[in-house]
Amino acid sequence: MAFCEHQEIVLTADVSGDEGEELKAGDVGVIVHIHPGGEAFVAEFMGLDEDVGVIATVLACQAREVGG
């Protein structure tokens, strides 16, 4: 499956945020940048308070589309 920018995704594996934050399988984020080749992308994940976002580089095999 090809991901696209601004698409909502669900993590299928635990991932570390770019500043060491812990993201868990099941967390939902939005793709903000796709690396050339589409094998990885940058996504933003919001906390429950929605004041602080976590940025993470995610491999395509570590996520799925929402509802997929």
Residues 10-67 have pLDDT tens digits of 999 999 999 999 999 999 999 999 999 999 999 999 876 666 789 999 999 999 999 8
- The reply to whether the predicted model has a pTM over 0.85 is yes
Tokens of 46: 């919001």
Q: How far apart are alpha carbons 31 and 28 in whole angstroms? A: 10
Q: Is 2.30.30 the CATH number for 8-65?
A: yes
Domain boundaries, the chain: 8-65
